A and B are shown apart, each in its own frame.
Chain A
Amino acid sequence: MSLRLLLVEDDRELRATLREALLVEGYQVLTAASLAEAHAMYGQTQLEESNAQAFDLILLDLGLPDGDGSELLVKLRRKQSTPVIIISAREAEGQKIQLLDEGADDYLVKPFSIGELLARMRVALRHRGNQVRAAITRYEQGDLVIDLANHKVSRNEELIHLTPTEFNLLARLVRNAGQVVTHRQLLVDVWGQEYLEHTHYLRLYMGQLRGKLEDNPAEPQLLLTEPGVGYRLLDARD
């Protein structure tokens, strides 16, 4: 059974282009041009199917003619964990961070390439239903192995020593490998709510982690920076 996507985008040209491209990749694509249409489609499909998850993934534009796409995201997140990827022309980091914190799985700024979109979709789909399935506990990339269950990080079978904070930070990124984790999420999950403003802790520990895990810390290939937003651990399958 092919995966069902809902594409919410008001621009006709872009909607048609993306739809074609996604159909070629074998997805089943339903489209909506407005917030109302998206709501209707969502309700309808939910009635038709006994399946709790009407869609496997939602591609959501923000600036829709009858409202902001983020409304749909907020409404959706109250009930379900369907992966949502925001596609928007808005570049402001503030909004990006807010939407990621509100539960968006990823944020793509227009214009983007199909290749980029497909890669982000693959990651989002893999993380789908994290709450019910066992979380990712093992990460392998090249000669690096991160085993969260056993608290072990090794390269070429050689153990790498990490401090407790370094390990917690890395573990948080591994759980969302391939996805952006915002500064806020990292600070709250690793240090605690009261450390929200301590971005400089992240700079320090990410620097240390890169020093231990990267071949060339000046040009990291694993622990990637999303300027102004957060960090992303390279997807294990990229």
Chain B
Amino acid sequence: MNAFTSPQQLLRLGIGLAVWLLGWCLLLFLDGHFDPLNLSLLLILTSAISALWLPLRLTLFASVVALIAFNWAFVPPRGTFAIDLHQHTVLLLAMLVVNVIIAGLMVFLRAQTQNAQAYAQAAEELRTWGDKLRDADDPQLLCKDLYVALEQLAAGTSGLHKLALVTFTEPLPAANRAEALNKIGVVTGEQEEALWHCLRTGQALGPGTGHYQELDALYLPLRGRSLTSGAAMISGITHIDEFPALTQAQALCDQMGVALERHRIQQQERQASDQAQAQKVRNTLLAAISHDYRTPLATIMGAASSLDQQGERLSGNQRQQLARSIVDEADRLRRLTSNVLQLARLDAIGSNIQGDWESAEEIVGSVMRRMRSHDPQQRLSAKLAPDLPLLWGDSLLLSQLLENLIDNALKYSPPESLVQVLVYLDKGQLVLAVRDTGVGMATAEQELLFEVFQRGDHRKTGGAGVGLALCRAIARAHGGELELRATTDGTSFECHLPLHAQPANPELEV
């Protein structure tokens, strides 16, 4: 072992030798003023102080050499190695023993301090790493940091090392597929096999691990509580002595493993809760749909069975009325069916609607014409801002949106209130608004209606739920949003649609 190679070690050697030099200078300087007995204590002191810096063997060697030199220089007869007095022999032997004991103690103490420091450093490293993982939104992104930390551990030891780190994000595939892994570093096919084995068994492999000790690399699993999320490799290690930081490296890896597992569990929980939420919305929607179907069906059933069973006893006028209500309710069912179908379709295609350049004026015009038959008291009117730009969208869907909003407004506002369709530009958006002038109750009720509908609870909406859900889906499919606003004298459902760059118009004619 070449113990004195690093600059730090050379410095320690220098200081140790300097202490010895200083001690001898002092001895020579004090020679003649004190007797050798006193000077010998100075020698012991020098030896003890130098042991603070010098390694054990050198300290002992220096002590013995110093003792012999002391004998030669200071113990009478001076200038010889001979010892003439018995007490001097005892003195020299005692000095030797004391020197050895002190040097040994000093070096032991030093080693203890060093170990404690190393432990503290390792603990600190683990703590900061743990904090970092805890604060990370996705520990997967910290793979690079773990790689660097392991690299630093490996750099503290001799030899050339190569590192690799693999993790997986998807559920672990049955077969070893390279593309299922998230990889940092380069590995050979054999090393990849070992990484897979390490990952699947959750066992460390390689020298000092108790498994596959003959390997020339360490494979450390990233272990969580019940699942191994990845594995790290440090190559170029043939014996455990070459990598004393094994425990520390494994601890870092395990922390990563726990963090990855925790993150995975959190994600699964979130997914499960999203699914549960979607299922809940679907269920309430289904409940709302079947509820909405029942009401018109009940009217149709009542009227039709009355015609069937009481036909002859009814007056012509009564029969006419019953037939009329069957037609009206059937029409309501038709609209409802169309809403449900459209909602399912939008759910499936998202915002991939079949768009074209459409004129808001035309859409409003065709809707107004159709809704007139539901508006015998002429409560409905339309007002469009002049020179509106064309909008990009699906005219059938936008017509359906307006129809639903108008239908709701006619049905849920007081019978004398007016319903107005407004189209205007606002903050770079085209707004299709349906306003009613229902006072008091209508506002509060529609507010509730919208809130209830937003919560996905359709029990209190009395049939408007599916229609509103569709309106919102249509607005969103067009990149817009449906909003409810209370005006000074009523409520306003507003569909905000984004504007698009207009197409080139043909040349003007006269």
Contact = CB atoms under 8 A, between A and B. Distances in A.
Given A164-B509, A227-B366, A228-B395, A200 B357 contact: yes
Nearest to B510: A163
A217 B356 contact: no
A236 B170 CA distance: 67
Contacts of B98: none
Contacts of A198: 503, 506
Given A111-B334, A165-B509, A218-B384, A203 B369 contact: no
Given A219-B369, A228-B395, A207 B341 contact: no
Given A111-B330, A204-B506, A227-B399, A219 B394 contact: no
Interface string A54-82: 00000000000000000000000000000
Contact of A225 (B327, B334, B356, B365): B365
Contacts of A221: 369
Given A218-B384, A219-B369, A227-B363, A200 B505 contact: yes
Contacts of A206: 359, 362
A204 B505 contact: yes
Interface residues on B, range: 20 to 34
A203 B358 contact: yes
A163 B510 CA distance: 5
B464 interface: no
Nearest to B396: A228
A219 B365 contact: yes
A187 to B, nearest CB: 12
Interface string A193-208: 0000011110110110
A93 B366 contact: no
Interface string B371-409: 000000000001110000010001110110000000000
A113 interface: yes
A231 to B, nearest CB: 9
A225 B361 CA distance: 10
A94 B394 CA distance: 12
Contacts of A226: 366
B364 interface: yes
Nearest to B358: A203
B395 A218 contact: no
A204 B505 CA distance: 8
Query: In this complex, which of B330, B365, B368, B382 has the most chain A Cβ atoms within 10 angstroms of its Cβ?
Result: B365
Contacts of B365: 210, 217-220, 225
Contacts of B358: 203
B338 interface: yes
Given A219-B368, A228-B394, A199 B356 contact: yes
A228 B399 CA distance: 10
Contacts of A163: 509-510
A91 interface: yes
Contacts of B398: 227
B334 A203 contact: no
A220 B369 CA distance: 8
Interface in B257-314: none
Contact of B327 (A113, A201, A219, A220): A113
A224 B369 contact: yes
A120 to B, nearest CB: 16
Contacts of A207: 359, 361-362
Given A225-B366, A227-B366, A228-B394, A219 B382 contact: yes
Output the residue of B354, B362, B366, B510 with the most chain A CB within 10 A.
B362
A203 B390 contact: yes
B225 to A, nearest CB: 53
B67 to A, nearest CB: 107
A218 B338 contact: no
Contacts of B369: 219-221, 224
B378 to A, nearest CB: 12
A203 B384 contact: no
Interface in A174-208: 198-201, 203-204, 206-207
B357 A203 contact: yes
Interface string B455-466: 000000000000
Contacts of A111: 330, 334
B503 A200 contact: yes
Contacts of B357: 199-200, 203
B368 A218 contact: yes
B354 to A, nearest CB: 8
A82 to B, nearest CB: 29
B508 to A, nearest CB: 8
Contact of B364 (A164, A218, A228): A218
Contacts of B509: 163-166
A113 B398 CA distance: 24
Contact of A91 (B330, B338, B394, B510): B338
B363 A218 contact: no
B390 A91 contact: no
Nearest to B372: A219
A227 B395 contact: yes
Contacts of B356: 199, 228
Nearest to A183: B356
A207 to B, nearest CB: 6
Interface in A129-167: 163-166
Contacts of A224: 366, 369
A207 B363 CA distance: 12
B325 to A, nearest CB: 14
B136 to A, nearest CB: 49
Interface string A74-108: 00000000000000000101100000000000000
B330 to A, nearest CB: 6
B396 A93 contact: yes
Given A199-B357, A203-B359, A227 B396 contact: yes
A185 to B, nearest CB: 16
A228 B393 CA distance: 10
A97 to B, nearest CB: 11
B361 A201 contact: no
Nearest to A217: B361
A12 to B, nearest CB: 18
Nearest to B395: A227
Given A165-B506, A203-B362, 18 more contacts: A93-B396, A94-B354, A163-B509, A164-B509, A166-B509, A199-B357, A200-B390, A200-B505, A204-B506, A210-B365, A218-B361, A218-B364, A218-B365, A225-B362, A225-B363, A225-B395, A227-B398, A227-B399
Interface of B: 327, 330, 334, 338, 341, 354, 356-359, 361-366, 368-369, 382-384, 390, 394-396, 398-399, 503, 505-506, 509-510
Q: Which 5 A-B pairs have the closest CB atoms?
A: A163-B509, A200-B357, A227-B395, A225-B366, A203-B359
